[in-house]
Amino acid sequence: MPVNVVSEWLNACSGCEISILNTGEALLDLLPQLNFVHIPALVDHKYFGQLGDGTTLEIPEAVVGIVSGGVRNTEHEHVLTEVRKKVKFLIALGSCAAHGGVPAQANMWKGEEVWDKVFRHCASTEPAPDPVDPNLPKWTPMCKALDEVVKVDITIPGCAPHPDWIADALVALLEGKTAWALPERSVCDTCPVIREQKSGGGPVKRWITNMEFNPEEGLEKMRCINEQGFLCMGPVTLAGCAGKHGVPRCIQARTPCRGCFGPIRKGARPMVDMMGALTSVGLDPKTVLDRRAVMNRYIGGHGYLAPLPARPAR
Ligand code: SF4
Ligand code: SF4
Ligand code: SF4
């Protein structure tokens, strides 16, 4: 008997849903056991009845709920709460759902300031009056991860999450397990480059000059990106972006890790730890431009990013 699955997307870009489809052959094997009863990314569903003729939000009952995207407005809150009521196991899919994701960078400002910067006084667009339609959902004060609003059973981080882990978590649930998580390892733990625990020292270089590597040689001949003087978030980022096998995706492309899988464990302080990691190889972490945003790029929920108190006038 197939298991009913509900999928929803909130403050999301649909990359996580593409990852579900990228599960490929593993998904084909799983499909006979899964019955997707609601997946707006693939099938047009109306929130108010399947034909749009209802008066209340209708999410079908299911064993598994897969939700991508964080919570940024009252509609997201409503949909998420309804999904939680209707499913036995809730999976937070992707770093937006797990940590707030890139949209939670906006948590560095108050809502009115964001509206001012983005809609009212943006250099590249014509200012426009605020939308006044009372049917539009209201912004929530902060962009939140799902577990800041409801109970989450399984978290699959990543921007985008690796299809291997989507299949793995679904198989675990189908086998009757009630928990699944990636092992607590860092991207550095799975990175094959040469490390000498020292750099040339000085300021952290901006990513506008080339790193040194020979494209004819393997990564095991390349020097660690941090030790070459650039910011690589590998020391404080959860490993897993290469799936069950292989080298971290950005390192494969010979670019620095930007931290898209989020912290290695709940409650970690990646910014503090990353500044420590840079210091330990002789770099000055205070020279990282916009370091609060850059070192919390995918994890602005859970209070990692919040408006700073106004500085007293000098
Ligand atoms: S985690 Fe990445 S891929 Fe998934 S919804 Fe957010 S931005 Fe898109
Ligand atoms: S800092 Fe980056 S390049 Fe260096 S070992 Fe870690 S992941 Fe690899
Ligand atoms: S190397 Fe880092 S930023 Fe790149 S995909 Fe992996 S976890 Fe994400």
Ligand nearest to the CA of 297: 3
Per-residue confidence (pLDDT) for residue 227, from 0 to 100: 98
Ligand 3 centroid from CA 115, angstroms = 30
Look at residue 260 and tell me whether its pLDDT is greater than 80.
yes
Average pLDDT over every residue of 48-55: 85
Per-residue confidence (pLDDT) for residue 27, from 0 to 100: 87
Per-residue confidence band for 51, with pLDDT thresholds at 50, 70 and 90: confident
Nearest CA to ligand 3 atom 8: 260
Ligand nearest to the CA of 102: 1
Q: Write out the chain in H/E/C secondary structure.
A: CCEEEEEEECECCCHHHHHHHCCCHHHHHHHHHEEEEECCCCCCCCCCCCCCCCCCCCCCCEEEEEEECEEEEHHHHHHHHHHHHHEEEEEEECHHHHHCEHHHHHHHCCHHHHHHHHHHCCCCCCCCCCCCCCCCCCEEEEEECHHHCCCCCEEECCCCCCHHHHHHHHHHHHCCCCCCCCCCCEHHHHCCCECCCCCCCEECECCCCCCCCCCCCCHHHCECCCCCCECCCHHHEECCCCCCCCCCHHHHCCCCCCCCCCECCCCCCHHHHHHHHHHHCCEEHHHCCCHHHHHCCCECCCCCCCCCCCCCCC
Ligand 3 centroid from CA 186, angstroms = 11
- pLDDT averaged over the chain? 94
User: Above pLDDT 70, what percent of the chain?
Assistant: 99
- Is there an atom of ligand 1 within 6 Å of 111 CB? no
pLDDT digits (tens, 9 = 90+) for 272-298: 999 999 999 999 999 999 999 999 999
Ligand nearest to the CA of 195: 2
pLDDT digits (tens, 9 = 90+) for 157-212: 999 999 999 999 999 999 999 999 999 999 999 999 999 999 999 999 998 888 99
Amino acid identity at 128 = A
Mutate to test the pocket of ligand 2, among 247, 257, 273 (most ligand atoms within 8 A of CB): 257
Q: Residue 226 CA: which ligand 2 atom is closest? A: 1
- The pTM of this model reads 0.95
Fold of 3-174: Rossmann fold (3.40.50)
pLDDT digits (tens, 9 = 90+) for 220-231: 999 999 999 999
pLDDT digits (tens, 9 = 90+) for 58-85: 999 999 999 999 999 999 999 999 999 9
Per-residue confidence (pLDDT) for residue 131, from 0 to 100: 79
Ligand 3 centroid from CA 234, angstroms = 8
Would you kindly state where each structural domain of the chain is located, as residue ranges?
Answer: 3-174, 184-305
Look at residue 314 and tell me whether its pLDDT is greater than 70.
no
Nearest CA to ligand 1 atom 5: 12
pLDDT digits (tens, 9 = 90+) for 97-150: 999 999 999 999 998 898 888 878 888 888 877 878 888 999 999 999 999 999
Q: Residue 256 CA: which ligand 2 atom is closest? A: 2
Ligand 1 centroid from CA 160, angstroms = 5
Ligand 1 centroid from CA 281, angstroms = 32
Q: Higher pLDDT residue, 197 or 52? A: 197
